[in-house]
Chains A and B, each alone.
Chain A
């Protein structure tokens, strides 16, 4: 008896910080729900693409912060600071390399994640909004790619941006104004660079983080889609006398289901 009372005391002591936080925020219950909510029994590997995309974004955010510590957004010094990061800073080549290649992976993973969503029909009721948020994430992600490409201030970067800004200029009505705004002057120079830099590291990441937050809130709220070939019930109409469990999917559905 005494032992179990001691044990209870120990447990209470161990959980005290958690209780302290919970009493003041009420967040613990939410985190518990997040972790221990049920997902369909047959989710598969394709459905890890979303979290893989998030991982790629986190790699970009982390490496980006460290690059920003050494990068100088000025046409006279940008190129030299990139050389300095690549050649002199401890592990600078790794951080820069991860940022460069992580960008491509982030984009590829977004496309794959979108393809999976499309194949699974996971954009249908009630998840339409989440599909739209995803498209916005794709657009902001590609805008990140466009603005980040200029920052090394080498030939590749400079001329690709010249072409990119000229593309913007061809848009009807808003095009020339957009190009003027991006370029920030008569030709691509220091105003362009600082503009691209602030868009790249402040505006777009902020937008992406907000969108990711909403995106994941909706995933948790609406639940993870079960694969369309699911043999588990997950939303199928129940038939009288059908065997339950794993054989549910083998039951031929009534004809009315076919034509919807």
Chain B
């Protein structure tokens, strides 16, 4: 025995089928005509964008629509501000709202997942037969809110100038204070590199970082006074020290590695008192 709603829905759909059969117009040529025009517009816009992009830009020199390509990927760079494609800006900006690392999962996974669940579940959340927008106030308000907030986040993401790495880099002065290596320029440069090279995606340093991959806390890694060269060679090839999990960072280059070693050796652990 179907519920009253089910019966009404079925009856309405049956009536719709009959009405379209009786009063509709054939898909070809009427609807196809509109579809074709719209498709031609789409292709024209795509070609137009491609032409403007090519004509105004020259190699890595940006034109109206940005450069044809930026410089070749260089894993050793430490000051490049990462920027995803525009449709990920909203996600990118959520990162900045939630402070790394305790709540970042809310921004990166929690909210998007929740939105996705709501999106998939929509037909089951809203089961009324009413389709006129002005008589669906909840749907209308929810739609406006979603569009506005995604728009704002996308805009914020587009105009954001700092990246995650640079945000961590802002902590370098505090680190050098706590560890007492502020007077050592090599260690400070190494600290900056450490913040920007993604070390904190696995490691923890003075409460910053992810630490969800089981990598050790490095806040007091230099306490054993093994010297900057030991760390330099360790980071260059962790495998020779029996560490098969961590990859080689030899690509950072000798100078950078030396600074990194100086920084790690200077990390004796925060001074007590």
Contacts and interface: CB of A to CB of B under 8 A. Distances in A.
Contact of B20 (A105, A169, A223): A223
Contact of B15 (A34, A98, A171, A233): A233
Contacts of B71: 154-155
B53 A145 contact: no
B52 to A, nearest CB: 9
B75 A163 contact: no
B27 A36 contact: yes
A86 B69 CA distance: 9
Contacts of B86: 104
Interface stretch (A8-16, A50-58, A198-206): A50-58
Contacts of B45: 105
B93 to A, nearest CB: 12
Contacts of B8: 260
B122 A145 contact: no
Given A45-B34, A260-B129, A169 B210 contact: yes
A208 interface: no
B12 interface: yes
B132 A228 contact: yes
Contacts, number: 270
Given A39-B25, A169-B201, A229-B132, A97 B70 contact: no
Given A56-B42, A123-B122, A169 B88 contact: no
Interface string B139-154: 1000100010000000
Contact of A79 (B32, B73, B248): B73
Contact of A228 (B42, B69, B131): B131
Nearest to A117: B122
Contacts of A162: 82, 198
Nearest to A87: B59
A64 interface: no
A140 interface: no
Contacts of A119: 133, 143
Contacts of B249: 187
Interface string B81-119: 111111110011001000001001100110000001001
Nearest to A153: B73
Given A169-B213, A233-B19, A234-B19, A128 B124 contact: yes
A: contact size bracket = 35 or more
A97 B210 contact: no
B105 A172 contact: yes
Nearest to A246: B23
A39 B20 contact: yes
Nearest to B54: A93
Nearest to A37: B27
Q: Is the interface of B mostly helix, strand, loop or mixed?
A: helix
Interface string B41-65: 1110111011101100001000001
B35 A131 contact: no
B19 A235 contact: yes
A186 B72 CA distance: 20
Contacts of B42: 52, 55-56, 59, 105, 109
Interface string A24-40: 00000000001111111
B24 interface: yes
B27 A39 contact: yes
A94 B16 contact: no
Given A167-B91, A167-B108, A40 B38 contact: no
Contact of A170 (B54, B108, B136): B108
Interface in B247-265: 247-249, 251
Contacts of B147: 115
Interface of B: 5, 8-9, 12-13, 15-17, 19-21, 23-28, 30-32, 34-35, 37-39, 41-43, 45-47, 49-51, 53-54, 59, 65, 68-75, 77, 80-88, 91-92, 95, 101, 104-105, 108-109, 116, 119-120, 122-124, 126-133, 136, 139, 143, 147, 163-164, 198, 201, 210, 212-213, 245-249, 251
22 contacts: A35-B26, A52-B39, A56-B42, A94-B54, A101-B65, A104-B86, A109-B42, A118-B122, A121-B131, A121-B132, A123-B122, A124-B131, A131-B122, A145-B88, A146-B88, A153-B73, A158-B74, A160-B85, A163-B82, A172-B105, A187-B249, A234-B15
Given A131-B122, A155-B72, 8 more contacts: A38-B27, A39-B31, A79-B69, A100-B53, A158-B75, A163-B163, A186-B245, A235-B13
